[in-house]
Copies of this chain bind each other. A is one copy, B any other.
């Protein structure tokens, strides 16, 4: 090799045969699996166990998803949804006065746990009780509640949530369905005005829903008041109501137990009281009234009440990833291939460094996301139970739910794919679960908000400090607003800088904190992610400002800065996720379980930094030598996590029946 290109040997220290002093003193901890499961289950352990029991009892659904025709399976999923409703697990989010459980947190926990099983059932439950029932609960008033909620909770009344149209999924303010008020008849006339304004991809619409919550532009006389929600009967006795056309969306990649369909309205008349009127109303004479003057803000307030759906999908993605990881790690723990350390026995897959590298950091991310999700679910409970009524907190919840959903569902897609590949050809057989996991979760990155659009929402919140004055800004309004501020002003409003300063002061080295702190010091890890977030946000603000100052069209500026916008939102959410994990570890009493969680937390933190190490080097916060040290430390952590891997996944508490994969996973613990 040419000497001029060879780095100093010490700069390229190989890992083989190397033992750090930390490793020398390391004693392998024992995991108390039950205690760890309890920690993961959190305050709703009982509810989660109820759902686990229900899943195991109805585990035949996993096979039925493969063997039944699409029509028969849809009926089966509907029937099972009703059976689950009878156990109480699906109605936890509704008031007790209507037969619900009156506990939002329990409702989210139940939904998340359902993701261990067939995901058509999960989504059917989500559509009926979350989207449809939730919209009536959140957007309607007492008359609507009295009329519908009790029957929604039992499943006697099935409904759908008709927001998305063929032409508009992300930009729902531009919907083409119109509800025109006819004061003479005291009715709204619902009309699909364009070919691309069919309600589309609507779950429960193709076969089962009798009622739809329809989002439409409310027009009274000359005035368009923007998008509002209406209760519209669409099907009676199995047939479409007059003026309503229903089409089936046809076969989908997955979730074929859910009857997604299209709806078209031709002058469908509904009573004036069909308007879900919590945030706005139309009087008999057509007078429009709302406590929220700004139409944009009113719309986003309405949408904000539906945040539970995003919280639930994020949690479901994390739990679906757990199923994949449990199978892949148990397989890697029993499957042997090629002789390596022994001449007489082939090596266990999980003893290969590469296999550890592909599976174990993802396991650590799942734990991290689990604890981050726990916080989001807790905040969601507080906000929707009235424990917390501050508007700022509500907007922060919306942002956090959006960001966590995005990262959690991308994590699910990536993890399930990696786990399938790690199980080789066996992973391709449907009996081994990955087929359904992949196909069913695929759309999680899209529904309840496209992940890219959600991250833009997160960035907007950060850049405008969640201020209610700017809640009504669209993307371009945000560009103009941020461009009008000094960069320092933008950053002062975010708390990334304050948090960074706080933790940096705890580290040795002063301005050299990034070189002198220990890699396994969680304050160092936090400082890195906080620094990155602050720096990226500043970069976005500076770029927006410069683009506008240079006279560019705000849309063009946004397009060019969009990758930075999204990167900064991701950096923000990754910081929140790490904080959640670090805090969880910190609050544990000393003992082996604290040690084992701490290992995973370090693995999560360092592999998050490693994944973006180029950025840290580019921005002067990571020397090349230290970057390499991080990679070596990750390998070392993988070797420590490896013997504990089975316990880590056992703590997820996935019922054995839900794993199927009889040939892959070895015996139950």
Interface of A with B (CB < 8 Å)? 1-2, 4-7, 12, 14-17, 66-67, 164, 166, 168-171, 174, 200-201, 249-254, 337-342, 346-347, 351-354, 357, 413, 417, 420-421, 424-431, 434-435, 438-439, 442-443, 445-447, 450-452, 474-476, 487-488, 491, 497, 501, 511, 531, 534-535, 538-539, 542-544, 546-547, 550, 552-553, 555-563, 566, 613-614, 617-621, 624, 627-628, 635, 663
Shortest CB-to-CB span from A16 to chain B, Å, is 4
Whether B430 and A66, one on each chain, are in contact in the complex, defined by CB atoms closer than 8 angstroms, is no
Q: How far is the CA of A531 from the CA of B4 in the complex (A)?
A: 12
Ordered by A's residue number, 17 sampled pairs between the chains whose C-beta atoms are within 8 Å are A1-B487, A7-B619, A170-B337, A174-B346, A250-B430, A250-B431, A253-B439, A340-B476, A340-B556, A352-B559, A353-B563, A421-B450, A428-B443, A438-B442, A613-B614, A614-B627, A620-B624
Given contact pairs A251-B66, A435-B252, A614-B614, A452 touches B342 in the complex (Cβ within 8 A) = no
Q: Residues of B contacting A252 with CB < 8 Å? A: 428-430, 435
Interface pair A421/B446, CB less than 8 Å apart: yes
**Residue among B169, B340, B421, B439 making CB contact with A424, cutoff 8 Å:** B169
A588–B253 Cα gap in the complex (Å)? Answer: 42
If A252-B429, A424-B446, A446-B424 touch, whether A534 touches B14 (CB-CB below 8 Å) is: no
Residue of B nearest to A628 (CB): B618
- Is A417 touching B428 in the complex (CB atoms < 8 A)? no
Given A67-B251, A340-B558, A341-B553, 5 further pairs, Cβ under 8 A: A7-B535, A17-B557, A338-B474, A347-B559, A425-B446
CA distance A438 to B15 in the complex (A): 37
From B169, B488, B546, contact of A17 by CB (8 A):
B546
Q: How far is the CB of A374 from chain B (nearest CB, A)?
A: 27
Q: Is the CB of A511 within 8 A of B4?
A: yes
The answer on a CB contact under 8 Å between A338 and B553 is no
A17 to B627 alpha-carbon distance, docked (Å): 33
Q: Which residues of B contact A249 (CB under 8 A)?
A: 429
The residue that A559 contacts in the complex, of B351, B476, B563, with Cβ under 8 A, is B351
Across the interface, which residues of B come within 8 angstroms of A434, CB to CB? 253
A4 smallest CB distance to B (angstroms): 5
- Is the Cβ of A341 less than 8 Å from the Cβ of B556? yes
Chain B, residue nearest A174 (CB): B346
Nearest residue in B to A66 (C-beta to C-beta)?
B251
- How far, in whole Å, are A584 and B501 apart by their CA atoms in the complex? 53
Query: How many chain copies?
Result: 2
Given contact pairs A15-B543, A501-B2, A618-B627, A429 touches B354 in the complex (Cβ within 8 A): no
Q: Shortest Cβ distance from A299 into chain B, in angstroms?
A: 14
A207 CB to closest chain B CB (Å) equals: 16
Docked Cα-Cα span, A613 to B614, in Å, equals 6
Query: How far does the Cβ of A131 sit from chain B's closest Cβ, in whole Å?
Result: 14
**How distant is A72 from chain B, measured CB to nearest CB, in Å?**
13
From B201, B253, B555, give the contact of A339 (CB < 8 A): B555
Distance to closest chain B CB from A540 (angstroms): 9
Among A353, A547, A557, chain B packs the most CB atoms within 10 A around the CB of A353
5 A-B pairs with the lowest CB-CB distances in the bound complex, closest first: A340-B555, A341-B555, A253-B435, A16-B547, A17-B550
State in angstroms the CA–CA spacing of A618 and B351 once bound together: 28
Q: Are A253 and B628 in contact (CB under 8 A)?
A: no
Do A555 and B452 have beta carbons less than 8 Å apart? Answer: no
Could you tell me if B342 and A555 are in contact, using CB atoms closer than 8 angstroms? yes
Give chain B nearest CB distance to A54 CB in angstroms.
Answer: 25
User: Once the chains are docked, how many angstroms separate the CA of A490 from the CA of B235?
Assistant: 74
Taking the closest CB of chain B, its distance from the CB of A457, in whole angstroms, is: 12
A251→B65 CA distance, assembly (Å): 11
Q: Contacts A439-B439, A511-B4, A614-B617 given: A353-B562 contact, CB under 8 Å?
A: yes
- Collect the chain B residues with CB atoms within 8 Å of residue A351's CB: 559
Give the distance to chain B from A313, nearest Cβ to Cβ, in Å: 13
Residues on the B chain within 8 Å of A431, using CB: 250-251
User: Bound complex: CA of A618 vs CA of B7, how far in Å?
Assistant: 9
| Complex: A2 Cα to B347 Cα, angstroms | 52
**Which chain B residues border A425 with CB–CB below 8 Å?**
164, 169, 200-201, 443, 446-447
A607 CB, min distance to chain B CBs, angstroms? 13
Given A252-B428, A546-B17, CB of A562 within 8 Å of CB of B354: yes
Task: Note all chain B residues with C-beta closer than 8 A to A450.
Answer: 421, 424
| Alpha-carbon separation in the docked complex, A156 to B265 (Å) | 56
Which single residue of chain B is at the shortest CB-CB distance from A445? B421
CB-defined contacts of A566 to chain B, threshold 8 Å? 354
Which residue of chain B lies nearest to A450 when distances are taken between CB atoms in the complex? B424
Shortest C-beta distance, A110 to chain B (Å), equals: 25
Q: A561: which B residues are within 8 A, CB to CB?
A: 14-16, 353
Chain B residues within 8 Å of A5, by CB: 531, 534-535, 621
Known: A166-B663, A170-B337, A434-B253. A1 touches B491 (CB 8 A): yes
Q: When chains A and B are docked, how far (Å) is the Cα of A206 from the Cα of B357? A: 36
CA distance A252 to B53 in the complex (A): 28
Q: Which residues of B contact A635 (CB under 8 A)?
A: 560, 563
Among residues of B, the one whose C-beta sits closest to the C-beta of A559 is B353
A434 to B558, CA, bound (A): 30
B170 and A338 within 8 A (CB): yes
Closest to A626 in B: B618
With a cutoff of 8 Å between Cβ atoms, the chain B residues found around residue A347 in the complex are 555, 559
Give which listed residue, B2, B16, B563, B663, contacts A546 with CB less than 8 A: B16
Which residues of chain B are near A339, meaning CB under 8 Å?
Answer: 474, 476, 555
